[in-house]
């Protein structure tokens, strides 16, 4: 037994507040860095002004590339902050991202703001990116 009254090596108790905070932290981190990068690319005139369609495939590919990286890193952060079951927390963030990107894809299709492959790619990659973030956390934590 340790100082908390639990058996040594026992997993930490469930903590809904910390679990929710871990997922929320990953979500906010991804949103902030994604929108910040978007804004920077608008300011330097790589992207068209806000509200105008973005049909250039290079612009969409750049947006997809950094969003994939940010999604993996956000899932890593969620796994790192999780009180237990880090991969499960990362995948919960992925499920939130899947729902958000599905709603975004529907909105993009209705507004015709650019090619549909881009929002569909965000939907398709939401869970794999979350898994990759959880896997990265396991590798870093395990020292491998």
Q: Which two tokens stand for residue 101?
A: 């990107």
Q: Which domain holds residue 109?
A: 29-142
56 located within any domain? yes
Q: Does the global pTM surpass 0.85?
A: yes
**pLDDT value for 76:** 98
Beta-carbon count within 10 A of 41 CB = 15
User: Which two structure tokens, joined as six digits, stand for 143?
Assistant: 């020292």
List phi, psi (to 5°) of 53.
-60, 150
Number of domains the chain is built from: 1
37 part of a folded domain: yes
List, for residues 25-40, the tens digit of each pLDDT value: 999 999 999 999 999 9
Instruction: Let me know if residue 130 belongs to a domain.
Output: yes
Q: For residue 16, is it within any domain?
A: no
Q: What percent of the chain has pLDDT over 70?
A: 90
CA angle, residues 3, 20, 100, in degrees to nearest 5: 160
């Amino acid at each position: 037994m340790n100082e908390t009254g639990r058996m040594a090596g026992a997993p930490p108790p469930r903590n809904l507040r910390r679990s929710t905070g871990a997922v929320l932290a990953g979500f906010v981190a991804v949103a902030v860095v994604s929108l910040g990068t978007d804004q920077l690319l608008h300011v330097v005139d790589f992207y068209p002004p806000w509200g105008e369609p973005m049909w250039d495939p290079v612009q969409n590919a750049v947006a997809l590339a950094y969003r994939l990286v940010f999604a993996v890193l956000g899932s890593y952060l969620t796994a790192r902050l999780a009180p237990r079951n880090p991969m499960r927390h990362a995948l919960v963030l992925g499920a939130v991202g899947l729902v958000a990107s599905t709603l975004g894809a529907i909105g993009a299709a209705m507004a015709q703001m650019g090619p549909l492959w881009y929002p569909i790619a965000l939907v398709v990659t939401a869970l794999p990116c979350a898994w990759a973030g959880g896997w990265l956390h396991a590798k870093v934590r395990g020292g491998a």
